[in-house]
Structure 1
Amino acid sequence: MSRNSIGGVRRAQLITTYGVGSLIAVESNSYMIAGIDRWSDYGDEHIIHEPRLQQQLRVRGFRLPPASQYEGRGDVPVIRFPIWHSCPESGTLKEHWKWGNHRGTAKCKVHDRELVPSRFVVCCGNGHIDDFPYFRWVHAGSPGTGTEHEMTIEATGRSAALRDIVIACKCGKRVSMEGALGKGALKGIARCTGQRPWLGSDQTQECDEIPRGMQRGASGVWFSAVRSALSIPPWSEAIHKLIEKHWKTLSKTRHLRDTVEDLELAKGKPFGIDEIVGAVEQRRRIEAGLEDYSEADLKAQEYQALANTTPEISGDQDFVCVPPDNLELDPTLAVDQVMRVKRLREVRALEAFTRIESPTPGDGKRLASLHRDDDRPDWLPAIEVIGEGVFLTLDQRRLAEWEQRPEVIDRIAPLGEGYRQRFLSRGTEPDRWITPRLVLIHTLAHAIINEWSLDSGYPAASLRERLYVSDTMAGLLIYTATSDSAGSLGGIVAQVESGDLSASIHRALNRISWCSADPLCIETQVSGVDNLNRAACHACVLLPETSCEEYNTLLDRGILIGTHEEPQVGFFSSKAADLTAS
């Protein structure tokens, strides 16, 4: 573990990009972020709370990752990974400790060159990771008969292809890396070692999966499993913010009313002692697990809060949601309700992570832990986002009629089958049904984000979707996804206040009606990871993955605007609207 500061990242990146178990390159070195049980305690002032999310994740609170102003106190610890390094001069390939370097920048003492961390690693679907088994790859799983087994790596320079990267052994065996990263390439050669280096060298697990070779910087090496919740009434109100400041005392006292009186919490406040006591007791019930919240419950509560008016009463509110003034909507868009979320707070917590495949709801078996099994902290790393947004709902009557059409069901069937196969390949049943409503609202959110990134002053990566989809919900929230001051510039709410909302949605739909990859894009039967997209590519509706709840899957712009052969499958196409009217 490094004892000195070696580099820095933004706080938000320690949740979404460089969280526990991920790899980070610092100059010519490569490191892995260590588990949270090895993070230093840097003060209670950096604890944040969101009671509903705490109850769901079974923790007592969340902790902001360290920031640079702490001058090294409480820095996030790292370990060196991969262990194997090579000399760029001689190509000699061996473990880091065999080079005689223990701290700082690793160097080859013979050629005075900085060592290069291994370009390849192996991962498995259970979250394990280890160095690529070069020795077994060269010897096809057999140690061979020779006694000299010094390894070298050589790039021929003819091309950047893997076939021009050759691994050789002093015993005489040579083999290129061609095919080494394919699924099943290591079958019969190596098995998963169950290594969890972010938790320590002794933290191994039994694992019978075949590991998969990957490039060290590949996106599939680490996916964050982030849970989030909005602060909605009553938790966003002043009374709960007051309780938060004194929660360490209020959570433990047996004489609650006397403590509230002694602290004079009601003095000069618009609420009395009884209201404070009631709010404390409500939060106590949640933290004791007496009020259970599933992710569906969180979303349903947020949906109701967003659909109702919460005016601004005081300046310390975390949630202000009001209808627009004199907004006229184009009826052909079938937008049922619009709300201006002038102020919101979201807490995003890193629950775990996955490798090879992105996490999906109900995917608990594949989630890799952030801490040792025998040393579970009562907190998780998290950030809070203060920003603004716009909430839209679609006409439920028109939506229900449209999603029952046979051609719409047929259009979405390949995505549902791809999603089912993803779970069946792991030996489990799908956790949900993929419905036309979900794909429609999800793709619409992407189209609007792409359009508003041009109009609002925010880049697409600073906007985020939050989907509310069920038999009784059909809404989406587009909000600022940044944790800095850019979260409250007013550019999102301005899309409604300007009266240009209908026009901006029309522009979004017109923009995705044609893609530079057409006709291949619009005619695609299935695409993307695990065949979970149809007509969706980087030239039309895909977004930065931090902006998307579904990791850029379950998208199809044909569901929005129709196709040449079946224009009626598009919810917003004129032919679909004519069918509904008739």
Structure 2
Amino acid sequence: MATAERPKARQSQLVTTYGVGSLFPAGDQSFMICGIDEWDEKWSPPVEEPRLARSLGVHTFRAPSTGKRNGDVPVVRFPTYHYCPQCRRLDRHWKFDAKKMQCPDCLRDLTPSRFVACCENGHIEDFPYFNWAHRGSDVPDGPHRMMLESQGASSSLADIVIRCSCGVPAHDLDGSFGRNALSKIKGCDGKRPWLPDAPDEQCEKPLRALQRGSSNVWFGAVRSSISIPPWSSPTAQFVTKHWAVLEHVPESALAAALPAMIEGRPGLSVEGVVDVVRQRKGLETTTQPSDQDLRDEEYRALIDGNEGGPLDTFQCVPVDVDERVQALVAQVSRANRLREVRALQGFSRVTPMITDTTNPRLARLSETHLQWLPATEVLGEGIFVRLSEDAITTWEEQSLARQRHQLLDQSLQRRAVESGAPIMSAPSARFIAIHSLAHALLQELSLDAGYPIGSLRERIYAEESQAGLLIYTASSDAAGSLGGLAALADEQHFADTLSAALSRAGWCSNDPVCSESGPSGTDGLNLAACHACLLLPETSCEHRNIFLDRVSLVGNIESLTGGLVSSL
């Protein structure tokens, strides 16, 4: 942009909130973040996490530019339709005074269109105002000058009227947001404006009208990984820094080349570096791991713990568990230092898609396949909690656990029938209970540790034979480095915090409505969960605040029996 004030976003937002293909609001203007093949790599520093890179099929990651020295992340203006707030003329922005972004007749700044059209394959284009205004009529020859008028009676779509100078009857926008409203007048053109030079794609999906600021215009597919041994050690960090050289050195020559390279670096040894190089090369020849494979490795590392040295980015030490919570909690670990890498692998629109490298419906971040993806890293602290497998297994066998799981499963089936989404099964009853416990515990930890709740994040481990949760600092700004969260893992502090969290979860200010309600929230994928009890800021929940149920955790509201923690 060649303006005096460039729009600004935090580096982490360019991966999680305003990633490639998303719409970025900048005052009264609107832009779309361009694909990574438009980025200048010299302004994007590398971010290394070999396990995650291997899982995503790339060599490395790069952090978005910080904007220094003109290294801005490129954008394009979108939507292209703008209107004058005074004369109400509606047209492409380049047909006004595109340099000043003003109406040449009224000298008023232009306002971008409130509406866009998207499809489930990730394509996006301008709302088809011309087609909507001329639907049901023959399009006459001659100039067409459209007007976007507001009747002012209300803020409904019925009060927004499109007129054209060609004389066709005016049409309001009432009904334009229906599921199949646009398919009657226009198909998807397969447009990808975030890839300025890319050709349009063939697409059979229907277009959906959405407000440009709506949350379902862009769903980022973000994958993350915690750095664990041996990749968190200073030796691995050294290998990563010099990997461009070390990967080409034969193992037989490493012993001779390394002494000069590691001279003056305490804690490094030739044998240790050779071993990590060998593991790194072996990693690149193994089968591409799935997200669940990475989670399994993290879970084992969190259980095993690692004291590490002062430069190790994974320091996790088990502590004693207070006898008051031993019936539920098998292990508590103080994670004094953690490093998380979050990478954007693609995105979807209209409905969120499964974050999977094999999912062909995720929109691509570049026209051609590149060997890197945008990512950010966060250093912080946290608390790891492993629940008793016996307690979880016993609870899963109870009728309440099966009933609550069945309710969510039925909601997913209904969603598939109504929206055409792929048929999915609800996550296990243990996942629902552990996820709900994580939300209750995170809220209480935020109060005790003094962190803003949006700077804490959960990580759930609830596959078969797993029963753990990690709560850690998730913010890359100052709010994520206050300190004090890991200290709450100590025996008495944690027992007090858990007891307070469960007591708070036992009653919601919206009860009995909250606890007795059926499926609610997004697509009916929550049960007893609302903003007064379990829901968290979107930055804190890795599962978009769905699959939550307070009753699975604390039991029926009348008797407080049948829940995971009812026996405590």
For normalisation by structure 1, the TM-score amounts to 0.92
Counterpart in 2 of 1:331? Answer: 325
Q: Identify the residue that residue 217 of structure 1 maps to in structure 2.
A: 213
Quick check: 1:353 aligned with 2:350? no
Mapping 1:126-525, distance limit 5 Å: 126-140=121-135, 142-145=137-140, 147-170=142-165, 171-200=167-196, 202-254=198-250, 256-258=253-255, 260-261=257-258, 263-265=260-262, 269-286=266-283, 288-312=284-308, 314-324=309-319, 326-331=320-325, 334-362=328-356, 364-372=359-367, 375-422=368-415, 426=420, 428-430=422-424, 433-497=426-490, 499-525=492-518
Q: C-alpha deviations, 1:240-284, integer Å up to 9, x for none?
A: 112122111101223542563363426664453233212102102
Query: What residue ranges of structure 1 are gaps of 5+ in the alignment?
Result: 578-582
Deviates more, 1:347-356 or 1:171-180: 171-180
Letter in 1 for 2:385: L
- Distance in 1 (CA, whole Å) between partners of 2:41 and 2:256 is 28
Change (3 A) 1:187 1:569: farther
- Which secondary structure does the structure 2 equivalent of 1:447 belong to? helix
Question: In structure 2, what is the Cα distance between the partners aligned to 1:498 and 1:330?
Answer: 10
CA gap of 1:544–1:203, structure 2 versus 1, over 3 A, is: farther
Aligned partner letter, 2:503: N
Displacement after TM superposition at 1:554 (Å):
0.7
Counterpart of 1:348, as a letter, is: R
Q: Please state whether the residue corresponding to 2:343 is helix, strand or coil.
A: strand
Pick which of 421-430 and 78-87 moved more. Answer: 421-430
Structure 1 residue 533 displacement after superposition? 0.8
Cα separation, partners in 2 of 1:334 and 1:143, compared to 1, 3 Å: farther
Q: Counterpart of 2:554? A: 561
SS at match of 1:359: coil
User: Are 1:32 and 2:32 matched, yes or no?
Assistant: yes
Q: Which AA in structure 2 matches 1:245? A: K
Identity of aligned residues (%): 42
Name the CA shift for 1:252/1:515 in 2 (closer, same or farther; >3 Å): same
The CA distance in 1 between the partners of 2:486 and 2:269, in whole Å, is: 34
Residue 507 of structure 1, CA deviation: 1.6
Q: 1:333-390: per-residue Cα shift (whole Å, max 9, x none)? A: 6111100000010111111111112233448132111100xx2221111110000000
Corresponding letter in the other structure for 2:28: S
* Aligned residue type for 1:272: S
For 1:3 and 1:366, locate their aligned partners in 2 and report how far apart those are by CA, in whole Å: 36
Task: Give the aligned residue type for 1:346.
Answer: E
Q: Which amino acid aligns with 2:48?
A: H
Counterpart Cα distance in 1 of 2:247 and 2:506: 55
Deviates more, 1:474-483 or 1:441-450: 441-450
* Structure 1 contact 127–355 (Cα < 8 Å) conserved: yes
Give the partner amino acid of 1:283. Answer: R
Contact 1:128 1:194 in 2 (8 A): yes
Q: 1 CA distance for matches of 2:48 and 2:351?
A: 30
CA displacement 1:459-489 (0-9 Å, x = unmatched)? 1110000111111111000000011343332
User: 1:278–1:500: structure 2 CA closer, same or farther, 3 Å change rule?
Assistant: closer
Secondary structure in structure 1 of the residue aligned to 2:515: coil
Number of residues of Structure 1 aligned to a counterpart in Structure 2: 564
Give secondary structure in 2 for the equivalent of 1:380: strand
Change (3 A) 1:5 1:283: farther
In the alignment, is the contact (CA less than 8 A) between 1:2 and 1:77 conserved in 2? Answer: no
- 2:69 aligns with 71
Q: Secondary structure at the match of 1:444?
A: helix
**C-alpha separation between the residues in 2 aligned to 1:6 and 1:482?**
24
Deviations 1:509-542 (A, max 9, x none): 2223222333222122111222211111222211
Deviations 1:121-155 (A, max 9, x none): 01111111110011222223655346453211111
Say whether the 8 Å CA contact 2:517–2:527 is kept in structure 1. Answer: yes
Q: Distance in 2 between matches of 1:329 and 1:292?
A: 42
- Provide, for residues 42-93 of structure 1, a one-character-per-residue CA deviation record: whole Å limited to 9, x for no partner: 257x11111100100111111111113x221x21000010000101111110
**1:165-197 per-position Cα deviation (integer Å, ceiling 9, x unaligned):** 112222242122222223222231221111110
Residue 544 of structure 1 pairs with residue 531 of structure 2: no
Change (3 A) 1:159 1:497: same
Deviates more, 1:482-491 or 1:386-395: 482-491
Matching residue's letter, 2:87: S
Q: Which runs of 5+ in 2 are unaligned?
A: none
Distance 1:566 1:460 in 2: 31
Contact 2:221 2:355 (8 Å CA) reproduced: no
Task: Identify which range, 184-193 or 379-388, moves more after superposition.
Answer: 184-193
Alignment CA distance shift 1:264-1:210 (3 Å):
closer
Within 2, Cα distance between the matches of 1:11 and 1:347?
13
Q: In the superposition, relative to structure 1, how do residues 263 and 332 fare at CA in structure 2: closer, same or farther (>3 Å)?
A: closer
Aligned residues of 1:123 and 1:355 also touching (Cα < 8 A): yes
2:113 counterpart of 1:114? no
Within 2, Cα distance between the matches of 1:33 and 1:195? 15
Distance in 2 separating the partners of 1:3 and 1:331: 59
Q: Distance in 2 between matches of 1:123 and 1:2?
A: 29
Quick one: distance in 1 between partners of 2:349 and 2:559? Answer: 38
Q: CA deviation at 1:35?
A: 0.2
Distance in 1 of aligned mates of 2:142 and 2:511: 58
> Which amino acid in 1 is paired with 2:38?
R
Distance in 2 (CA, whole Å) between partners of 1:462 and 1:349 is 18
Query: 8 Å contact 2:222–2:355 — kept in the other structure?
Result: no
Other-structure match for 2:88: 91
Contact 1:330 1:502 in 2 (8 A): yes
User: Is the Cα–Cα contact under 8 Å of residues 260 and 277 in structure 1 kept in the other structure?
Assistant: no
Matched residue of 2:360: which SS? Answer: helix
Structure-2 separation of matches of 1:61 and 1:351: 12
The 2-side partners of 1:346 and 1:5 are apart by 32
Hey, what's the Cα distance between the residues in 2 that align with 1:380 and 1:5?
28
Aligned partners of 2:314 and 2:338 also within 8 Å: yes
The SS at the match of 1:537 is coil
Partner of 1:580: none
Query: How much does 1:566 deviate?
Result: 6.7
TM-aligned CA distance change 1:511 to 1:384, over 3 Å: same
Aligned to 2:12: 12
Task: Provide closer, same or farther for how the CA distance between residues 22 and 262 of structure 1 changes in structure 2, counting only shifts above 3 A.
Answer: same
Range moving further from structure 2, 518-527 or 470-479: 518-527
Q: Aligned ranges for residues 42-57 of structure 1 at < 5 Å? A: 42=42, 46-57=45-56
Give TM-score scaled by structure 2 length.
0.94
Contact 1:123 1:129 in 2 (8 A): yes
1:504 aligned counterpart, secondary structure: helix
